[in-house]
Amino acid sequence: MIIRTQQQGDVVVLTIDNPPVNAGNAEQRAGLAAAITDALAVPGLSGIVIASAGPHFYAGSDLGEFDGELASPTLPEVIALVESAPVPFVAAVKGLALGGGLELALACDRRVVDSSARLGFPEVRFGILPGAGGTVRAARLVGPAAAVEMVTSARQVDAEEARKVGLVDRVVDPADLITAAVETVRGLDGRDLIRDRTAPRDESATVEAALAAIPRRARPNVRRAADLVVRGARLDADTALAEERAAFDELRRTPESQDLRYLFFAQQDAARSLRTSAAPAHVGRVGIVGAGTMGKGLAVLFAGRGYDVTVVDGQQEALDRVAAAVPSAAVSDSLTALGEVDLVVDAVFEDMSVKQDLLRELEPIVPPSATIASNTSYLDLDEIATVLADPSRFAGLHFFNPPERNALVEVIPAARTSEAHTATLGSVVRRLGKIGIRAGVGDGFVGNRVYADYRGQAEFLLEEGANVEDVDAAMVDLGFAIGPFAVADMSGLDIAWARRKRLALTRDPGQRYVRIPDLVCEAGRLGRKTGAGWYDYPEGAKRGVPSPAVQELVDRARAEQHIIPRAIGADEIKDRVLGSMLAAAATLVSVGVTAQASDIDVALTEGFAFPRHLGGPLRTLSRRPESAVVAILAQVHASDPIGFSILEPATAGVLPLPVRTVLDSVRPATTTHEGVDA
């Protein structure tokens, strides 16, 4: 049964048991409503406690229900049943009480939580806002300013903070939770509903400060949620609740909310792909070879998640920087320090011989059971593995800079990687709190491969007539925080330059190649770290400024290619970049580097700052009419017929089959191939 009922004298305890996280769905709501109705018929009843089995109270609602009509009883209907009852209710909260779970708790007269409790309103992350009274009751309980912060930040608060701000009434030891909740409900003299209270009167300056703290780039639903909190605090409860529910119902049907839910489920699919039939090994001790920018970031990341970290590098200065950043990490200039690690991550220079030499020396030192992972961005993992006596324990574990902040990690099993070591790496990714995707061996794997075509198309556009600022501005208009040229300056132009040199010998001589990036690098302009890249960085400047020197290099390259520059609008820039990413995705899926196209949307949104509210590049184009997509792909094909040969059917007005396969797999259920609601 989803709801278990236990009578403790004059109190009934209703226990929600809907594993794994007690998420609210139609069956759970119906069971809870029925159990409340039955409990209210108990003679001599003085109160009801709502508790939970498992580790969590009620970790939000089942997002899968939000695309259609919500079955009755809805959560507001269950809450109305709670609030109309003649006896008081107490929520006994442990673990997560999120979204609808927190709204249910706020409908109770009191909230008793144990020390594991974490409470919050995550709705704004899904393009919506609380829809069962969260904005209304939170404002009446903790005040409009605090409620604005909670609702708009989607931040989870722990038990002690929740007590301090007044969100909960008691914090008790886990073993005492039910006893304390029963005692609390017995001690109540009638009902004390939050909805009947007058919201605390915050100073107007305090409320304005809370509103001003909302990020400038916050999506419209976030600001709408804040407005509802402030407005609802002044309205009668019925009106405020009705306005909130209407806004919730409107927003959950928007493409933005649908796309954010799509990403949520895509991330879950990606996580499942990292699990195998084998059991993961325990990893407690991690070795990192290389103390550069990536190695130091990895040390910060692993140590912050409780791993025992040892960093090895031949440069004492680099080790000193790691020791300063991660005091708990052991540092050494000898690989012998890694003799007891469970996992070792190679973060040395991106060169095949350097990595192979490392593995030859490393393999006999680390325990036979240890997993060996390379953080290579582009190199062939199967070739790297040829120097190992036991390649079954070797795989790629590709982090993105800066690894302590970037959410994306690619797990790349090589040809002979065992299922057990793959499962171990997947388990590590989860413990690190990262979004992991499974990738196959191939140049750039998934994220960098797609981004390479994005960057390449940006360079084509530059050569044809757009300038650096045009391209960056267009992508910012699409929703990126910064454009591709500004990103390149941040990461360093030498990284892509090294890749171009490595691929030069195998590049088809007929394939289009833009010399402008090479000219910029040859001029010593390697990005922010050298004070100049695609942009100039005058001393003290917070951001780059357009560079006359770069424009001269662009003009020279165009002249060498006999290109007469033309004006290129922002829409063409955006469409061609999106089309290039779609072409890369179709290639990756067709050759098996990724098994599910949705992983590409996950990679681009989590690792490369593609605007999440659009759902990713594939999801974005899946909403376009097929004729429009074909036209875009024809333009992309024309920009480089050899590099984008997969798109050749588009030149005849036909959507290429690999592209159709990709788009169909990510397309919203309510959208046809012609991009209209079915």
What are the angstrom distances between the C-alpha of 107 and each of 170, 246, 341, 651? 16, 19, 50, 60
Phi-psi region of 330 (alpha: psi -120 to 50; beta: other; left: phi over 0): beta
- d(CA 488, CA 476) in angstroms, rounded, equals 15
**Which residue among the candidates 103, 363, 459, 469 is catalytic per the annotation?**
103
Going by C-alpha positions, the residue among 365, 421, 359, 366 that lies closest to residue 393 is 421
- For 319-352, letters b (16+ CB in 10 Å) and e give bebbbeebeebbbeeebebbeebbbbbbbbebee
Both tokens assigned to 651? 């030149």
- d(CA 84, CA 433) in angstroms, rounded, equals 41
> Among this protein's residues, is 65 annotated catalytic?
no
3-state secondary structure 164-217: HHCCCCEEECHHHHHHHHHHHHHCCCCCCCHHHCCCCCCCHHHHHHHHHCCCCC
Going by C-alpha positions, the residue among 398, 390, 396 that lies closest to residue 369 is 390
- d(CA 335, CA 355) in angstroms, rounded, equals 14
Both tokens assigned to 208? 């304005």
**Which residue among the candidates 83, 123, 459, 463 is catalytic per the annotation?**
123
> How would you list the strands of the sheet with 58-59, edge to edge?
58-59, 96-98, 118-120, 157-158
Asked if 568 contacts 625 with a C-beta cutoff of 8 angstroms, the reply is no
Amino acid at 25: N
Asked if 313 contacts 289 with a C-beta cutoff of 8 angstroms, the reply is yes
Beta bridge partners of 527: 532
Going by C-alpha positions, the residue among 238, 228, 189 that lies closest to residue 88 is 189
Asked if 82 contacts 52 with a C-beta cutoff of 8 angstroms, the reply is no
> Among this protein's residues, is 103 annotated catalytic?
yes
3-state secondary structure 477-543: HHCCCCCHHHHHHHHCHHHHHHHHHHHHHHCCCCCCCCCHHHHHHHCCCCEHHHCECCEECCCCCCC
- d(CA 227, CA 96) in angstroms, rounded, equals 26
Helices (H), 219-368: 220-232, 237-252, 255-273, 293-304, 316-325, 352-362
Q: What are phi and psi of 622, to 5 degrees?
A: -65, -20
Torsion sign, CA atoms 317, 323, 324, 326:
positive
SS3 content of the chain, % helix, strand, coil (to 5): 50, 15, 35
DSSP-assigned letter for residue 388:
-
Q: Which residues are catalytic?
A: 103, 123
